[in-house]
Amino acid sequence: MRTAQQILADSAVIAVVGASRDPGKAAHGVPLQMQQYGWRIIPVNPTVDELFGERAYATLADIPHPVDLVDVFRPAADAVQVVRDAAAIGAPAVWLQLGIVSAEARRIAEEAGMDYVEDRCLIVERAAAGLTRLG
């Protein structure tokens, strides 16, 4: 299994489940910052048409191209289904944001052969490793 920083280094396209249009929420600020450092962010939110200048999708299954990483901003109880959905689209990795932990989601990811991170923040790990996809 790759480390959190290896996953970020290897990923170019991140689907963000639970991406928010509210600038006061981490589910808005975190993906926006990742986008500013060069990652392509695909918002997954059934209540919006567009976020971060990208088309938003209602579900992971609706995304018409591969994603490298599924980032989850949903409660732990919802993470189990998100991980199942990520496995169904062939995502190589799943990342549960800070404060989100699920033993069942971890088990599903491991059984599907996906890399799995939980209770960690994308922007903290990006900064710690000095990663960027710019230039």
The yes-or-no verdict on residue 69 having pLDDT over 90 is yes
- pLDDT of 2-17, one tens digit each? 999 999 999 999 999 9
The yes-or-no verdict on residue 135 having pLDDT over 90 is no
Alpha-carbon span 55 to 63, nearest angstrom: 10
What's the pTM value of the predicted model, to 2 decimals? 0.97
Pick from 72, 90, 91: nearest CA to 82:
72
The two beta strands, 93-96 and 40-44, are unpaired
Report yes or no: 14 and 34 within 8 Å, Cβ to Cβ.
yes
Alpha-carbon span 22 to 94, nearest angstrom: 23
- pLDDT of 17-65, one tens digit each? 999 999 999 999 999 999 999 999 999 999 999 999 999 999 999 999 9
Alpha-carbon span 61 to 134, nearest angstrom: 28
